[in-house]
Amino acid sequence: MESINWSDLSFGYMKTDYNVRCYYRDGKWGELEVSSSEIINIHMAATCLHYGQESFEGLKAFKGKDGKIRVFRMDENAKRMQSSSRGIKMAELPVEKFEEAIRKVVKLNERFVPPYESGAALYIRPLMIGLGAQVGVKPAPEYMFMVFVTPVGPYFKGGFKPSKVCIMRDYDRAAPHGTGTIKVGGNYAASLVAGEKAKELGYAAVLYLDPKEKKYLDECGPANFFGIRGNSYITPQSNSILPSITNKSLQQLAEDMGLKVERRPVPFDEIATFEEAAECGTAAVIAPISQIDDIDMNKSYIISKDGKPGPVCEKLYNKLRGIQYGDEPDTYNWVTTIE
Ligand code: PLP
Ligand code: COI
């Protein structure tokens, strides 16, 4: 434990003390169970292994200057997990049960919440899988919900330092009326080939276009996208992207700062007009974008010439982190303190 270098954490897995689990059997959810094992024992014919009945969430807990632990907008993650369940015919977990599980797993692993000064956080990973032996393609009879935690640093190397992303027109992460709006494992499997290719070419992420017409911006592999032009915060509206809780929060904060929020289809060539651009999400927080390369079109859009985050991104980043760490007033009741 003494050996954790909190300021040097990457976005990776580290064993913590406990996880919590809950089973859905005979049409109802059972009680939360606490486990210290990292292993789950499941049937080889479980639907999660064959037909992709799996969804997950991602949220964070932060330790404040006052020593208190705060979790950001967990009711939103609970509701999104319900929406994922509806999208792939899994059992819906009540919001209260989800929140109880988060409180419990954070409290039990309190010693892994990084100290305030480190700027790191405790990443919370809830997931749900279909269980029970089944060979035909149909929903599972039973489900398991579990939550583990792990201390993390920045998702992208360099954290708040701008990085390059690319457009790859031969790949989609989701279909026009598919599962892009829910958080299911299959979407991430579908993003791996393009994602690895982008990494090999030196990009932090792929910026996907809408899968139907390739005319509009969608989102990045693990995060939403926004651009800043003049006094506007511009972010794509699309039925193949995940509704990001970070993006929703930033839209509110942007409005409070007097920016105009435009949530609408964003033609991809509009990026040429952006003064700032960034990825946003729980893991990414705000990851500024310095350059967007449209690889197949052999076109580069330079967003940041000096390699520094723009002033609006910086202001939004500080405000969001301030609320999460308890340095700024929590006007909208986004934060739950873990007692
Ligand atoms: N888009 C995708 C595809 C994601 O995986 C995530 C991460 O959860 C996000 C966007 C950002 O969502 P949130 O801000 O709720 O973490
Ligand atoms: C998150 O931001 O929490 C995510 O789930 C993104 C990624 C790690 C899949």
Residue 111 belongs to some domain of the structure: yes
Q: Is 130 in the pocket of ligand 2 (CB under 6 A)?
A: no
The residue written with tokens 């990973």 in the block is 125
Ligand that comes closest to the CA of residue 187 = 1
Which distant-in-sequence residues (6+ apart) come within 8 Å of 148 by Cβ? 16, 19, 38, 105, 125
Q: What would the two tokens of residue 47 be?
A: 């639907």
Residue 158 belongs to some domain of the structure: no
The answer to whether 149 and 14 are in contact (CB under 8 A) is no
Q: Is 180 in the pocket of ligand 2 (CB under 6 A)?
A: no
Task: Give the domain-ending residue among 98, 122, 152.
Answer: 152
Q: Is 235 in the pocket of ligand 1 (CB under 6 A)?
A: no
Q: Is 124 in the pocket of ligand 1 (CB under 6 A)?
A: no
pLDDT of residue 163: 94
- pLDDT per residue of the chain (339 residues) written in tens, 0 to 9: 558 999 899 999 999 999 999 999 999 999 999 999 999 999 999 999 999 999 999 999 999 999 999 999 999 999 999 999 999 999 999 999 999 999 999 999 999 999 999 989 999 999 999 999 999 999 999 999 999 999 999 888 777 899 999 999 999 999 999 999 999 999 999 999 999 999 999 999 999 999 999 999 999 999 999 999 999 999 999 999 999 999 999 999 999 999 999 999 999 999 999 999 999 999 999 999 999 999 999 999 999 989 899 999 999 999 999 999 999 999 999 999 998
Could you give the CA distance from residue 280 to residue 291 in angstroms, rounded to a whole number?
A: 16
Q: Is 283 in the pocket of ligand 2 (CB under 6 A)?
A: yes
CA 272 to centroid of ligand 1, rounded, Å: 24
Q: With H, G, I as helix, E, B as strand and everything else as coil, classify residue 98.
A: helix
Question: For ligand 1, atom 5, which residue shows the shortest CA distance?
Answer: 222
Both 179 and 318 in a single domain?
Answer: yes
Q: Is 282 in the pocket of ligand 1 (CB under 6 A)?
A: yes
pLDDT of residue 265: 98
Ligand that comes closest to the CA of residue 78 = 1
pLDDT of residue 320: 98
pLDDT of residue 159: 77
Q: What would the two tokens of residue 94 be?
A: 């009540």
pLDDT of residue 158: 73
Instruction: Count other C-beta atoms under 10 Å from residue 314's C-beta.
Output: 15
Residue 106 belongs to some domain of the structure: yes
The residue written with tokens 């197949």 in the block is 296
Both 78 and 188 in a single domain?
Answer: no
The answer to whether 90 and 143 are in contact (CB under 8 A) is yes
Both 88 and 225 in a single domain?
Answer: no
Q: Is 282 in the pocket of ligand 2 (CB under 6 A)?
A: yes
Q: Is 219 in the pocket of ligand 1 (CB under 6 A)?
A: yes
pLDDT of residue 2: 59
Nearest to 90 by CA among 136, 44, 31, 140: 140
CATH code, domain with 13: 3.30.470.10
Distance between terminal CA atoms of the chain?
23
Q: Where are the beta strands (DSSP E) in 132-241?
A: 142-152, 163-167, 205-209, 217-220, 224-229, 232-236
Q: Which of 155, 173, 182, 285 for mutating ligand 2's site (highest number of atoms within 8 Å of CB)?
A: 155
Residue 37 belongs to some domain of the structure: yes
Both 109 and 190 in a single domain?
Answer: no
Axis crossing angle, helix 95-108 with helix 74-87, rounded to the nearest 10: 120
Residue 88 belongs to some domain of the structure: yes
The residue written with tokens 């893991």 in the block is 283
User: What is the CB-side half-sphere exposure of residue 309 using CA atoms within 13 A?
Assistant: 17
CATH code, domain with 253: 3.20.10.10
Nearest to 275 by CA among 256, 260, 253, 290: 290
Residue 24 belongs to some domain of the structure: yes
pLDDT of residue 332: 98
Q: Which amino acid is at 47?
A: T
Task: Give the domain-ending residue among 126, 152, 178.
Answer: 152
Pure H helices in 127-191: 185-189
Both 58 and 94 in a single domain?
Answer: yes
Both 25 and 45 in a single domain?
Answer: yes
Both 316 and 201 in a single domain?
Answer: yes
Calculate the alpha carbon distances from 325 to 66, 70, 76, 158 in Å.
Answer: 9, 7, 18, 20
Residue 330 belongs to some domain of the structure: no
For the chain, how many helices (H) and strands (E)?
A: 7, 18
Both 256 and 317 in a single domain?
Answer: yes
Range of the domain at 305: 163-324
CA 119 to centroid of ligand 1, rounded, Å: 20
Both 177 and 310 in a single domain?
Answer: yes
Q: Which amino acid is at 143?
A: Y
Both 175 and 257 in a single domain?
Answer: yes
Nearest to 226 by CA among 205, 250, 208: 250
Residue 336 belongs to some domain of the structure: no
Domain count, the chain: 2
The answer to whether 227 and 165 are in contact (CB under 8 A) is no
Both 124 and 183 in a single domain?
Answer: no
The answer to whether 93 and 74 are in contact (CB under 8 A) is no
Task: Give the domain-ending residue among 111, 129, 152.
Answer: 152
Instruction: Count other C-beta atoms under 10 Å from residue 17's C-beta.
Output: 14
Both 66 and 95 in a single domain?
Answer: yes
